[in-house]
Structure 1
């Protein structure tokens, strides 16, 4: 099935999922695309014991209960973002399979950080790990404390840049989000190779060396952003080159932001963005929703 320009948001009735719905509805309106609310249900395994066949009434009840969650989420979306175009999809079975299938068809998947029922454990559990690690489109994880406010509704888009192929894809998505939202783009690059000596003389030399490195890295960062700046000339870009740990630098830059965008892996300060300590820390500590962009065939590692 061909890709559709649509945002998919996972729904499970939890408060975290409602926060994700608000963010996704706001994103859909700003991008001018439809929002699809999706959920799944599954029959308890013990009902299949000894060849039992669950009655159809039980399936009907589970589907009706899931539909109530969809209806509640629809009210949240329409109340927060009037005019948003909303559809829904309910499936029986694994939420992982459903979301991975949908990732082949949609622009973006939005998930709450944790939930109930079929979509539980959204950050550290199997559902989020599978969707963030294997989804074919960018995946946005929204924690319950990442709620959209009047401040963050108009905040910047922040992107982590390291020069790899997947980092370039993250830059592309960040520019598209900033352009659709009329937002500033803040591009952050960290440099951790400086060795500061203990003596005052050594510190002074290191500071001077850092100034040279900072100028070089600013020039490189500008080069990496240049093509996208030409394609999106209305997007104001602020470059940040800092001598800091990636998690702290990105979290500091993302205070009050609408979205933080990172590639799923990279070089230097952003190595191992998916499975390493940096990604785990950002999923739990980012002060705004986090978009993870995976590499595609041909990306430079």
Structure 2
């Protein structure tokens, strides 16, 4: 897969959620001016053959042929959304999560639907989505089945907590906002001073809160400075709040095209992958969610 470094890869399975993911991926590939690859998988029914027996080639051929209508449907969707985009496909025998993780080693981005059937079943809360989000080597975007993501014209939203992976997520968010010619909303939440003060029995005044908020805004501005220099075309809106990360991100992403978050962080974004925060965001965010891991390449 050495030729995929700049390719957006989308997992397809013929479901409505898959069709939405293909449309989103095609639009993303077009705005990024990169190729799109459609990937579907099939597995050999274990019950058909005795353990250790190698199935005959015609069985593989038939299973692959059954996948062609799924690929053609996805291709038609992609070409309708982005007529000029370069589209290729792959039909792979194997575990869908592992196949997509393998693709993530060389791909620019993996896109998956939030609900699906067959090989990509249960992308939000199932084992496939958890495995891809936990082990992918590039950002993973999960789209929603119950919304028309292509109709969204709002900003890109990013959660910032000061961690190294948060900086990676911020870089991706700036790049997406630039490619889409849309503003970026940088969200920073802080609960620690409130928790520490309560634990110490200290009552903070309004002036105390104002001073803390000013400090948080300054910290956020410092974390954004380098990126704003590199992406001068991106208008940045800063949002600092004493709130939980998920609630703040969901609120700000109500009219957004995309919300971007690092897979591991500190404070409000700790445990973004497999903990309650990540699951809540993937379930509640009204727009596609991009998860950026520490290992994500640029």
TM-score range, shorter chain: over 0.9
Write out aligned runs for 1:39-58 (5 A): 39-49=40-50, 54-58=55-59
Is the 1:195–1:206 Cα contact (8 Å) retained in structure 2? no
Q: Which residue of 2 aligns with 1:181?
A: 180
Unpaired runs of at least 5, structure 1: none
Measured after TM superposition, the shift of residue 19 of structure 1 is: 0.8
Aligned to 1:276: 275
SS of the equivalent of 1:292 reads strand
Greater mean alpha carbon deviation, residues 43-52 or residues 33-42: 43-52
CA RMSD of aligned residues (A): 2.0
Q: Given the alignment of the two structures, is residue 132 of structure 1 paired with residue 133 of structure 2, yes or no?
A: yes
Structure 2 gap ranges (5+): none
TM-score between both structures, scaled by the size of structure 1: 0.91
What is aligned with 2:237?
238
Counterpart for residue 114 of structure 2: 113
**CA displacement 1:125-173 (0-9 Å, x = unmatched):** 12111110000000011120242243x1x21110000000000000000
1:238-296 deviation line (CA, Å, top 9, x unaligned) = 00001111111000001111111000111111111112110010111111100000013
More moved, 186-195 vs 30-39: 186-195
Residues 185, 238 of structure 2: 8 Å contact kept: yes
Distance 2:85 2:62 in 1: 29
Aligned to 2:104: 103
CA contact (8 A) 1:184 1:237 kept: yes
Query: Are residue 6 (structure 1) and residue 19 (structure 2) matched?
Result: no
CA contact (8 A) 2:258 2:287 kept: yes
Q: TM-score, normalised by structure 2?
A: 0.92
Following TM superposition, by how much is the alpha carbon of 1:195 offset from its aligned partner in structure 2, in angstroms? 3.7
Q: 1:63 to 1:174 in 2, by over 3 A?
A: same
Once residues 3 and 61 of structure 2 are traced to their aligned partners in structure 1, the CA distance between those partners, rounded to angstroms, is 31
State the Cα distance separating 1:188 from its structure 2 match. Answer: 0.1
User: Which residue number in structure 2 is paired with residue 59 of structure 1?
Assistant: 60
Alignment check: 8 A CA contact 2:24 2:150 kept: no
Offset at residue 55 of structure 1 (A): 4.5
Q: Hey, what does 2:72 align to over in structure 1?
A: 71
2:167 matched residue in structure 1:
168
Report SS of the residue matched to 1:145.
coil
1:127-276 → structure 2 map (5 Å cutoff): 127-150=128-151, 152=152, 154-195=153-194, 205-276=204-275
**Residue 82 (structure 1) shift:** 2.1
- Give yes or no for contact 1:35–1:84 (8 Å, CA) kept in 2: yes
Displacement after TM superposition at 1:96 (Å): 1.9
Structure 1 contact 156–185 (Cα < 8 Å) conserved: yes
For 1:187-234, what per-residue CA distance to the aligned partner results, in whole angstroms no more than 9, with x for missing partners?
Answer: 000011354999xxx98x543322111111111100000000000000
* Partner SS for 1:123: coil
CA contact (8 A) 2:35 2:86 kept: yes
